[in-house]
Chains A and B, each alone.
Chain A
Amino acid sequence: MDCTLPPDVRKWKESMRRFVERELVPREHTLPPFANTLPEEVTAGIVAQLKSEGLWGLAVPREYGGAGLGLVALCALREALGHTTLWSLARLLGTEPPILLYDCNEDQKRRFLLPTLQGKRYGCFALTEPNAGSDAAALKMRAEPDGKDHFLLSGRKIFTSHADEADYALVFALTPPAGGAAREGITLFLVETDTPGLRILRQLDTMGGDRPSELLFEDCRVPAANIVGVPGDAFGLAQKWFACDRIALQPPIAIGAAARCLAMARAANAAPDAQIGQLALRVYVAREMLYHAAWKADQGLDVRHEASMVKATATTTGLEVVDQVLQWFGPAGYGRDLPFERYYRDLRRFTIAAGTYEIQQFIVARALLRGFSPLNCFAGAEAAAGGRQPGPAHT
């Protein structure tokens, strides 16, 4: 057993940490308090620099022009990125196409995946609806056939992050014949955001930088050629996305942010080592859980339960650490000169978005009650545990 990062990943992570210190931390004060965008040319400049330093697309598979370092590397880079409040700028690492795009057919890959990997096009993920959040399988968006080659989408999506900047959306909709089990009949469409019949109703202002949108679809005509995978069978795809996303999206950021706050607290002598040590130990544990799950995913193993354990642990721990460090710094910690308040506001969404904390807890408990032990989930112990069953229908 070797629980340490591979040497090349460690090297890239160190480069990313240096990049963050040199290029991003000095720009933190320019981030508008209630947005996560910088002027277009600034972001483009950062991306160009990341590319020139080889820090772009590291986790992207080789066949698509990336370095193929996998989820472990993505987590390592994002952990380093968490050391700045600018982590929430979109598109920084070139690794953010929803991994569902890897399930596209060749034509779709050419139109959506490749340009996204090159940073030329940008997608958003529209699953949640006003009446279907945690219980995502209860979604109501309909897609009716229109002629042989098209579907008409109608309904509402809400909390779609980055919809305002996106060129296309991944939209989950019900395709007839409806009925049958709840998760059957859900189909994934790639929808160009300039398609007539689709519009942004409003952006939801939040306490953090994210401003997700509410989308209205009125007879929005989408070619059948834009269906990803098998029609009616998209929920399995969504679950696959959740597992990787729950590992790589928020937890590494929460851990990097917590690490930075604790380092600042210790440098400023803001609290006794007994208290700093307790929190640091919990962050350390969350990080072990993160890389174990990422490594397992890279081996092609089922990580649904681990993903939920990682997400529930890392996001709550990160938030608690930021909150505590802010408290230790007193009024100064509450102010904008220090990064804590920004972290606090941005990290607060982690226990809601992409599957709430409560749902992760439920998934973990149910796994144990059904007799799988996510506890002894080590290669070598797997066979004894007797395989796994499909995961839950929850975002």
Chain B
Amino acid sequence: MDFTLPASAEQLRQAADRFVQEALLPHEGLLPPAEGTLPEDVRHRVTERRRALGLWGLGVPPAAGGMGLGWMERALVQERVQRSLLGLWPQGLLAAGDPPAALHAMRGAQREEYLQPCLDGRRIAHQILLPGGARAGGAPGLRAMPTPEGAVLSGTWTAVPALCTEDVLLVVAEMQGRLQGFLCDRGLPGYRVCRRRPGMGSVELADLAWEDCRLETARILPDAGPAALLWRAAQRVTVFGAGALGAAERCLEIGLDHIRRRQTFGRPLADRQAIQWMVADSARELHGARLLLYRAASLADRGDRDSAQDLAGPAMAYAAEAACRTVDRVLQMHGGYGYTRELPIERFWRDLRFYRVADGSNDTLVADAAGMLVADLSA
């Protein structure tokens, strides 16, 4: 047992803080106030700045030119970066240079076509994992069938974050009893975004349709399953879990600053117990969330991938909920001002709300983990 942070923690924190200071905070004002994200040219500038600062390819092995960070280290970076509204996942500003792990093993022509451009920042890849079988409500979902040339995909999938569909989308789905990866990019015949649905914040959702969509073998990763599952778990812990935690911590700091200064009935809000309890509840929940995330991350870094994967879903769920509750309390501390778009809090509130449904809804993740949690507690 040892709760010491990795030796690289301080250096990573500084690099992330510098990126936030120099590249994110100055551009926060350019975020469209209601919904949507930054203009393309600004996104490009931010990405170049990040690359120049060396925060590039966080999860990519050094052999492929990345930083090869462990989960713990990636969590520490996300905690800091998502203190800015622009660091939140829905802005997509950290995806460049960090393709999903199932792509890391690509060789030859596949590597030239997909991996290398992603590593260079010319292309961006995202991953979605689709459960097999029909969806709730009887929607057909996606079907993948093998053909002599490769595979044919048909069906639909609803409410995928639109930013994932901008370039390369690695669709991981079951074919012939095992999880395989299918590379779908813009322009692939038979694959299209059939509907766009704006969300309550920065996230726009897209419905995808595959109509007799034929993929040659170069677009198929038959062994993608394990890497895809591990990548998803890592994203849950680092991007959504630790990211939500960092965002909520920033909001709590804004709240503390406010309640020390704002006076009502001749005394600062900070003197009021109703307000103090919002602080205490938030502190306890965020502390607990952090410990749970660090447990999952350190399990993975120490090689216990199964346990890490099991814990990733519930850890993300707990962190996202704790973060949303915290931001909501901070909004309340600010009264009417908290509700306005003049402060960043309501935007954090709207954007973080997505984290609770982002990658499997929280309720499902926690329900699925019930057996594991109860067994672990009984040990």
Contact = CB atoms under 8 A, between A and B. Distances in A.
Q: State the majority secondary structure of interface residues on A.
A: helix
A364 B252 CA distance: 14
Contact of B283 (A255, A281, A364, A379): A364
A3 B288 contact: no
Contact of A280 (B249, B270, B289, B370): B370
B139 interface: no
A354 to B, nearest CB: 18
Interface stretch (A127-135, A194-202, A286-294): A286-294
Contact of B276 (A4, A258, A273, A366): A366
Interface stretch (A85-93, A180-188, A367-375): A367-375
Given A288-B292, A365-B277, A375 B249 contact: yes
B317 interface: yes
Nearest to B289: A285
Nearest to B270: A369
A378 B297 CA distance: 15
A289 B291 contact: yes
Contacts of A14: 379
Nearest to A83: B378
A368 B280 CA distance: 8
A107 interface: no
Given A72-B1, A380-B9, A266 B279 contact: no
Given A292-B3, A368-B256, A375 B373 contact: no
Interface string B353-379: 000000000010011111101111111
Contact of A2 (B1, B276, B289, B314): B1
A5 B1 contact: yes
B287 interface: yes
Interface string A271-287: 01110111011111111
A313 B288 contact: yes
A309 interface: yes
B50 interface: no
Contacts of A368: 252, 256, 279-280, 283
A380 B8 CA distance: 10
Contacts of B270: 369
B83 interface: no
A257 to B, nearest CB: 11
B210 interface: no
Interface in B301-354: 301-302, 314, 317-318
A189 to B, nearest CB: 34
B286 interface: yes
A312 interface: yes
B236 to A, nearest CB: 14
A287 B373 CA distance: 12
B290 interface: yes
A108 B224 CA distance: 67
A153 interface: no
Interface residues of A, number: 58
Interface centre among A17, A272, A367, A380, by most B CB within 10 Å?
A380
B74 interface: no
Interface string A230-266: 0000000000000000000000000100111011001
B280 A381 contact: no
A6 interface: yes
Q: Which of A1, A278, A374 has the most CB of B within 10 A?
A: A1
A362 B278 CA distance: 11
Interface in B27-42: none
A31 B301 CA distance: 46
A379 B4 contact: yes
A280 B377 contact: yes
B249 to A, nearest CB: 6
A329 interface: no
A385 B267 CA distance: 28
B167 interface: no
A102 interface: no
A279 B298 CA distance: 24
Contact of A287 (B260, B298, B317, B377): B377
Given A295-B3, A309-B283, A369-B256, A281 B371 contact: no
B374 A259 contact: yes
A345 interface: no
A65 to B, nearest CB: 24
Contact of A6 (B1, B260, B367, B377): B1
Contacts of A263: 374-375, 377-378
Contacts of A1: 2-6, 72, 294, 297-298, 301
Contacts of A37: none
B232 interface: no
Interface of A: 1-6, 9, 14, 17, 72, 255, 258-260, 262-263, 266, 272-274, 276-278, 280-289, 291-292, 295-296, 306, 309, 312-313, 360-362, 364-369, 374-375, 377-381, 384
25 contacts: A1-B3, A3-B295, A3-B299, A5-B1, A14-B379, A72-B1, A273-B367, A273-B368, A274-B363, A277-B368, A280-B373, A280-B377, A281-B366, A282-B318, A283-B373, A284-B377, A287-B377, A288-B288, A292-B3, A295-B1, A295-B2, A312-B280, A364-B280, A369-B276, A375-B249
Given A1-B6, A286-B288, A288-B288, 11 more contacts: A1-B72, A3-B294, A9-B1, A273-B368, A274-B366, A277-B366, A280-B373, A288-B292, A289-B287, A369-B256, A369-B260
Q: Lowest 10 CB-CB distances: which A-B pairs, in order? A: A277-B370, A380-B5, A365-B276, A259-B377, A280-B373, A273-B370, A285-B288, A288-B291, A274-B367, A277-B366
